[in-house]
Chain A
């Protein structure tokens, strides 16, 4: 039951109705039941995996909290203990809590690795073996990939790491942990929420709020507009271009990259809009995951605006811990002694960045395409950092240029051009093909291919292009308005009739112009394979 289905809408409607009819203390249990039903509608076999993750995380977190509580109680009861004795006791507790943390993380990331990455890993081992011998390690056929496994594994990992570091106490109710893990609107494409941010509203009691519900429905409509009218329409042309790079070189690669940028943005943000809208219907707050990323002036800013929760997860649980990890500190010291302070200060940043972007790439997919995509992002960000002195000198010479519209536009265009190039790894089937396609933009520009004949043979008609273009313009306009404040609030202020007209029109556009149903390759969300 994907988002783009009448069943999903009926399911949500039934769940919302029950949610507000039942006594408030049954609200979050109902969400858990609904989430289980949603998950089961995909494949009952998935249940085992999410259950193992839920129970292991719950149990490990409780154990960690218990051990810490025991430690605190012991130290309180024995004020006579010396500093060294206290340290030793704490070290013993830390060893145990560490063991629980690592076991839990190994188990769950192990499951993720086994299901998602094992064949990729074996494939690479076989590639190395093939240099020396003809034997091969067999890969696994028909591996299940449970819905949302990447999302919930990371979500729960963040939870248990936070508990380990004492940021909050473990949740005592296993069903609440289950709901946090499996809350159904977030299963398909995130976000990767943090427990303390989402728990109050997830487990809280909610009364019907007409304005909140109205805004939620409006957000859902907007999400469907982006997903069904634009993303699902453009995907046909993108696939046509990238599946035949020989036929569509040069300028067509660039054209495809632009279409893909629009398609990916609309698909992912549309999905998040639906996620947030559905969650808000229940009064549950879910983190925003996008903040007008195509308005970014540099790559670092882009990644603070695109898939925000994934970025912050890696930043908080990979980048910062790595920067201060003992082995990295040792390496830093080594570099300082060997190469000086300049090189040394780069060590933690470089090491942490490489690991972060390797992880981010791998998270997106078990293939070298995604890993190189991650490494490409890493490279651009590190180069950009290295060029900081140059930028500073430039800005010193031109102090006001940051406020000039042409400079801002240049930065935005530059950022998006770089991201479009990096996204080519996303599109083409393997690394060599990606490089070849990229290179053909310069070696075989084929500008003559940008004609009506070619463009109308990509699976889109002139009307399709018109609708997609109009839709993208509308999204752009809304994004521009959003910089001044909430668009829904602005529409709200115009009165009931205006509001009704706007959203009735949006509804009609989705129903009529949506690329769904028989005859369309109605894809699920691109990110729902994670």
Chain B
């Protein structure tokens, strides 16, 4: 009985040390050939693309390649800085839509395109004011859905349709984190 108790106590003592490992990320041996990223990615847009003023671009496009070709900006761009670091986030205003880019990767890359009114539409023909059914007729069933809207996911980006009073009130192309 005493022997058993002592063994149990010992077990508890050493198991406690092993159990303290719970937060670590080395819980499983990994195969030797894990992927390692090599060179930085080129700035090619992914997923659903947007077109304006003859320019086709999307989330992932370098803003330097795009912004000047989109026409006259209706307002000066607004740049905000990241806390503590040198990162910048700039919003460009083109009246019916806004383009946001940040320099997380080193270059300014577009991470959001926001459509504000029905004078612009997506390349596939969806626009503000449509009903959800009309949008789904274009894109099919969404990947995500909530009271506030629904989203389509494609190649690392999301195409979001925001709803207000039952119709699409805003559309955004956004990087999918």
Contacts and interface: CB of A to CB of B under 8 A. Distances in A.
Given A7-B24, A529-B29, A523 B34 contact: yes
A312 interface: no
Interface in A508-530: 521-526, 528-529
Contact of A41 (B18, B29, B33): B18
B26 A2 contact: yes
A243 B7 CA distance: 49
B84 interface: no
Interface in B98-137: none
Contact of A29 (B7, B21, B36): B7
Given A38-B18, A240-B36, A240-B38, A26 B27 contact: no
- Sorting the interface of chain A by its residue count into under 10, 10 to 19, 20 to 34 or 35 or more gives 35 or more
Nearest to B33: A239
B135 to A, nearest CB: 36
B10 A26 contact: yes
Given A29-B7, A239-B36, A240-B36, A11 B14 contact: yes
Contacts of B33: 239, 242-243, 427, 429
Contact of B21 (A14, A41, A458): A41
Contact of B15 (A40, A236, A243): A40
Contacts of A41: 18-19, 21, 27
A239 B10 contact: no
A7 B36 contact: no
B83 interface: no
A65 to B, nearest CB: 26
Contacts of B24: 1, 5, 7
B83 to A, nearest CB: 20
A15 interface: yes
Given A236-B36, A239-B34, A529-B32, A14 B17 contact: yes
A454 to B, nearest CB: 11
Interface of A: 1-2, 4-5, 7, 10-11, 14-15, 18, 22, 26, 29-30, 33-34, 36-38, 40-43, 147, 188, 235-236, 239-240, 242-244, 427, 429, 457-459, 521-526, 528-529
22 contacts: A5-B26, A7-B18, A7-B24, A10-B17, A11-B17, A15-B14, A29-B7, A29-B10, A30-B14, A33-B11, A33-B15, A37-B19, A38-B18, A40-B15, A41-B18, A42-B29, A235-B32, A239-B34, A457-B38, A458-B38, A459-B38, A528-B29
Given A11-B21, A15-B17, A523-B30, 19 more contacts: A1-B21, A2-B26, A5-B21, A5-B26, A10-B17, A26-B6, A26-B10, A33-B14, A37-B15, A37-B17, A37-B19, A40-B15, A235-B32, A240-B38, A429-B33, A457-B38, A457-B39, A523-B32, A529-B30
